[in-house]
Amino acid sequence: MTKNDQHSSPLAAYLADIKINFGGLFAPERDIAVVQAPGVMNVLGGFAESSGSMMLKSSVEKVTIAGVQKRRDRRIVIKLLAPRTQVCPIIDLNLDDCFQSNKPITLNRLSRLFKNHPDKHWAVLPLGVLTVLLREKLAEFQYGVTMGIQHNIPTNAGLCAFQALLSASSVAFNKIYKLALDDYQLMRICHIVYEYWKQAPSSLMDIYTTLAAEENKLLLLRSQPHELLDVIGIPEKYSFFTVHLNTGIKSIDTQALDAHISAHIAQKIIFHTIPEKLPFGGFLCNIPVIKWRTQYQQLVPETIAGKDFLERYGAPKDKALIKSDRLYRPRLHAEQALLENERTENFTKLLSTYASSREFPVLQEAGRLLYESHDNLKFITPALEKVDYFMQLLKNSNFSHMIMGATAGFPLSPDTVVIFAHIKAKDIITNLMAQFRHEFGNDAQIFCGSSPGALKTAPQLTFFK
C-alpha cells in the first residue's frame, strides 16, 4: 500500500505528511493555504484551438499541490518534491530580489536570476506568479513567503504539468493573501507566466482545465477566446485512460505551429472576400463544413509561400510567426480544423444521446470519432509510427466491446494516447502496453481516474502546529 492509498486524496496525503516532507520549512502556529491542480488530457479539438474550435478536455488523477505560508521576514523559500527520485534544491531568495529601482522585475530578469543554476530554473513558474501579481498591482508583499510544492505529474507526458504547478501556486496565493481574484484573472496570470516559460504561443484552455476541471467529467470548451460551454458527465461504467508511450517524441511544436499558421492564412483569405467587418465572429471554426466545401474551399490555395501571402494580404498581428521562406498548406489545415470542430460537437451529442438511450452502438460511434481524429493527425505529422502501432493494437484487439476508441494528444504530447473504454478495461490496456514494450522496448505508463481542478477543490487553510 502506498502512502496515497492510506489517505482519501492526494491533498489529504499532503496534509498528513506535511511535517515529514516540509518539516523545518513551514513555521509553526501559522496558517498555510494548500491547493491542488491536476494534469490535463486533451480528448478532442485541442489542435484546432487557435481557429476557435470546440474542445473536450478532462483531468488526470495526478496532481501538483502547493502550500503557501506568509513569513515574518523578507525571505522567499520554496521547496519542491518532484516525481520519483528527482532532487530539487531549495530556493532561498530575498523579496528585494524581485525588485529593481523600487519596481517589480520583469519575467526576463527573474529568469536571469537562475541563469547559472538550471536545476533551479523551475522556480521561475511559482515566482513568476508572484512577479506578475506585483507588476500588475494585484497584490503587495511587505514580507516574504514560504512554499512547499509536491509535483506528482510527469513533465514529459503532455499532461500540462507546468500549467498545473502555476494554477496551484496562483490559487494558493489568492487564498492566503485574500486577493479575491476571479477565474479569468487567475487564468490570465498563469498564461502570462507560461507563455514566457515556453517562449511560444500556448493554450489558455489547458490552464483553464487545471483550474476548473471536475472529477469524472469532460469540459466542453470553445476558444473564442475562452468559453466553457458545458460540463459533461462521462457515461457510467466508462472512463478515459491516458497512456504515455514514452517513445521519446517531444512536443512537435514546428508542425503544430505550421498547422496553426496555415489555418490562419486560410481564414485571412476567406474573410478578405467577405465585406462584413467580422465575418463568422472572427473565427474560422464558425464556418459550417458544408459551407466551407461549397463556397470557400476553392478560394483557398493548396499551398502558398509565406512571402506571397504577406505580399498579397498584408501582415497579421502575429506576422513574426509567418516565415517568408516556408511553404504553408492552408486548404488542408483549414479543413482539418473544421472537421475536428465538427467531430467534437458530434462526440458531445453522442454522449448526450447515450445518456438517454443507453444504446451501445452510440458509444461505438463516439469511439470511431476518436480513431478518426487520430487519423486526422497524420495530415499534420506523419512521423508517428510507434503511436500508430499502438493504435492498431487497440483497434485489432478482441476487446472492441470494451475499448471504444482512442486518439493521440497532439500537439502537446504526440505519444500520449487517450483511450475511451469500459472501467474494467485497464488490464486489457496494460497487456497491450506490454506488447508494445516487447516490440519497441519502451515502458509506457497508464493514468486512470481524474481529479478536480484548483478552483473545484476548496483550498485548505490549515493551521500548522
Window from 38-52, 122-136, 166-180, 252-266 with minimum mean pLDDT: 252-266
| Residue 30 reports pLDDT greater than 90 | no
pLDDT digits (tens, 9 = 90+) for 414-431: 789 999 999 999 999 999
Furthest-apart CA pair in the chain: how many Å?
A: 70
Q: Do 23 and 132 share a domain, yes or no?
A: yes
Q: Residue 264 above 90 pLDDT?
A: yes
- Tally of domains within the chain: 3
Q: Which pLDDT value is given to residue 1?
A: 37
The pLDDT assigned to 59 comes to 96
Sign of the CA dihedral running 40, 45, 47, 48: negative
More confident residue, 217 or 252: 217
Average pLDDT over residues 158-165: 94
| Structural domain that includes position 393 | 238-251+360-447
Distances (CA, A) of 125 to 129, 131, 132, 203, 257: 7, 10, 11, 16, 24
Q: Is residue 2 predicted with pLDDT exceeding 50?
A: no
Please state the rounded mean pLDDT for residues 196-203: 84
Average pLDDT taken over every residue of the chain:
90
Query: Which domain CATH number covers 438?
Result: 3.30.70.890
73 pLDDT higher than 50: yes
Least confident of 227-241, 284-298, 367-381: 367-381
Asked, for residue 341, whether it belongs to a domain, the answer is no
- Are residue 106 and residue 172 in the same domain, yes or no? yes
Q: What is the pLDDT of residue 84?
A: 59
- Are 246 and 258 contained in the same domain? no
pLDDT of residue 252: 58
Domain end residue (candidates: 334, 369, 404): 334
Residue 338 — very low, low, confident or very high, per pLDDT cuts 50/70/90?
A: very high
Helix, strand and coil content of the chain, in percent to the nearest 5, comes to: 45, 20, 30
300 has pLDDT over 90: yes
Q: Is residue 70 part of a domain?
A: yes
Q: Is the pLDDT of residue 441 over 80?
A: yes
Using the 8-state DSSP alphabet, how is residue 239 labeled?
A: E
Q: Do 392 and 283 reside in the same domain of the chain?
A: no
pTM of the model: 0.93
The reply to whether 204 falls in a domain is yes
pLDDT number for residue 202: 83
Point out the least confidently predicted range of 221-225, 301-305, 432-436.
221-225
Same domain, 270 and 286: yes
Residues 242 and 282 placed together within one structural domain of the fold: no
- Burial zone of 180 (CB within 10 Å; 0-12 exposed, 13-18 middle, 19+ buried): exposed
Residues 397, 418, single domain; the answer is yes
Residues 6+ apart with CB under 8 A from 415: 158, 244, 245, 246, 247, 248, 249, 384, 386, 387, 408
319 and 379 housed in the same domain: no
Average pLDDT over residues 243-249: 87
Q: What Å distances lie between residue 93 and 96, 104, 114, 197, 442, CA to CA?
A: 8, 15, 11, 20, 40
Query: What was the pLDDT predicted at 247?
Result: 87
Give a yes or no: residue 292 inside a domain: yes
Specify the CATH number for the domain of residue 167. Answer: 3.30.230.10
Does 346 reside within a domain? no
Residue 60 lies in a domain: yes
Q: What is the mean pLDDT of residues 248-274?
A: 84
Across the range 180-187, mean pLDDT stands at 96
Q: Does residue 69 belong to any structural domain of this protein?
A: yes
Is the model more confident about 348 or about 23?
348
Helical (H) or strand (E) element with 149: strand 145-151
**Span of 10-24, 26-40, 186-200 with lowest mean pLDDT:** 10-24
- Residue 38 phi/psi, 5-degree rounding, is -90, 165
User: pLDDT at residue 332 above 80?
Assistant: yes
Residues 425 and 459 in one domain: no
The C-alpha cell at 463 is 493551521
Whether 382 and 288 map to the same domain: the answer is no
Distance between terminal CA atoms of the chain?
Answer: 27
430 shares a domain with 368: yes
Indicate if the pLDDT at residue 318 is higher than 60: no
Q: In this structure, are strands 217-222 and 99-100 parallel, antiparallel, or unpaired?
A: unpaired
Domain boundary among 334, 369, 402: 334
Q: Both 296 and 416 in a single domain?
A: no
pLDDT tens-digit series, residues 79-112: 998 775 466 789 999 999 999 988 999 999 999 9
- The per-residue pLDDT for 225 is 86
Tell me, yes or no, whether 153 lies in a domain: yes
> Angle of helix 360-377 relative to helix 330-357, nearest 10 degrees?
160
